[in-house]
Structure 1
């Protein structure tokens, strides 16, 4: 029996305990801290948060490049995938824009 087989057998014998879903506020607090560690920048705001069967999805806005005047600073929207316990499972930069840019076509 190899290591993978032993791991599978162990999982069958001891099923994983379901993870309790944290509140939306707590999920974002945890994910924001984790994202800040990865990017070296803290999220400025949350534009969307939705519960899913697997946890949460969120969109956060991050200042990527500070400029003068402030309206020309470069912002980014990040799509986050969070577990039910608020752990950051994945993220992707969805778009970049200047702070003064107005959304068009819902984006």
Structure 2
């Protein structure tokens, strides 16, 4: 979400992005940088510096699908919705539950 996309004479061009716009931007930018399919956003929070999300991706698709390798990434975006950082915090098989 660049400033140019919000400054084309649109009403509310100076407004901050909505939560759904931020989630779409995070999914799109992470996919572009990593080449991995984003399954879902599992956590989302507004911070003083921008936004923090946890995003689930498919790292390795397998057959059957329950054995596919997924990963959780922590993603940080600026207040404008631009990707500032990301890092993987967990890898797991789709069909396995978290240990208690």
TM (norm. structure 1) is 0.76
Q: State the partner residue of 2:33.
A: 38
Distance in 1, Cα, partners of 2:37 & 2:93:
17
Runs (4 or more) in structure 1 with deviation over 4 Å come to: none
Cα deviations by residue, 1:1-25 (Å, 9 ceiling, x for unpaired) = xxxxxxxxxxxxxxxxxx8531111
Q: 1:76 aligns with which of 64, 71, 80?
A: 71
Equivalent residue, structure 2, for 1:51: 46
- Unpaired segments ≥5 residues, structure 2: 1-13
Bigger Rg, which one: 1
Name the structure where helix makes up a greater proportion of residues. 1
| Count of paired positions | 87
RMSD of equivalent CA atoms: 1.4
Give unmatched runs, 5+ long, in structure 1: 1-18
Q: 1:93 aligns with which of 76, 84, 88?
A: 88
Distance in 1 separating the partners of 2:76 and 2:34: 16
Where does residue 19 of structure 2 map in the other structure?
A: 24
